[in-house]
Copies of this chain bind each other. A is one copy, B any other.
Amino acid sequence: MISKKTKYALKALIYLSREFDKGPILIADLAREERIPKKFLELILLALKNAGVLQSKKGKGGGYSLARPPREISMGKVIRTLEGPLAPVPCVSESAYARCEECDDEWSCGIRLVMKDVRDAMAQILDSASLADVLERIEQEKQKKDGALFYTI
């Protein structure tokens, strides 16, 4: 399960994607609109900024905005930033490989072999899903729902 922190991050980024061309958004506004504790959101946005996902402007008229267009920011990048590596075990992580302490023979570890498949499948999905894709899928779903409504009334 992903943490609340990561969910907050994704919600904030989807919001910022919608407002992409409208200049910086205040943390306070984001927090209120998405019902995220303001001080907690501050930390999250800061982490995303340090990861190159967001940019910020200080002082009056300041706030946060995406550092790149929604099409160029992937769910994978966001989740890795806040949750750490996608891999279920460190020995199959591409972005942050580490040995498993308890493993003496990594090359014949059955857990590793299966978890590598899991990691690859997750990475394939999450690295190819951009914020723009997410917005599009939301719209598609809304239209599906409206269509269904039209026919069932």
Does A47 reach chain B (CB closer than 8 Å)? no
Residues of B within 8 A of A109 (CB): 138
Q: Is the CB of B10 within 8 A of A87?
A: no
Q: How many residues of A contact B (CB 8 A)?
A: 40
Q: For A90, give the chain B residue with the smallest CB separation.
A: B1
- Quickly give the copy total for this chain: 2
Residues of B within 8 A of A115 (CB): 2
A49 to B88, CA, bound (A): 24
0/1 string, A114-126, CB within 8 A of B gives 1: 1101100110111
Contact A141 B118 (CB under 8 A): no
Asked if A150 CB lies within 8 Å of chain B CBs, one says no
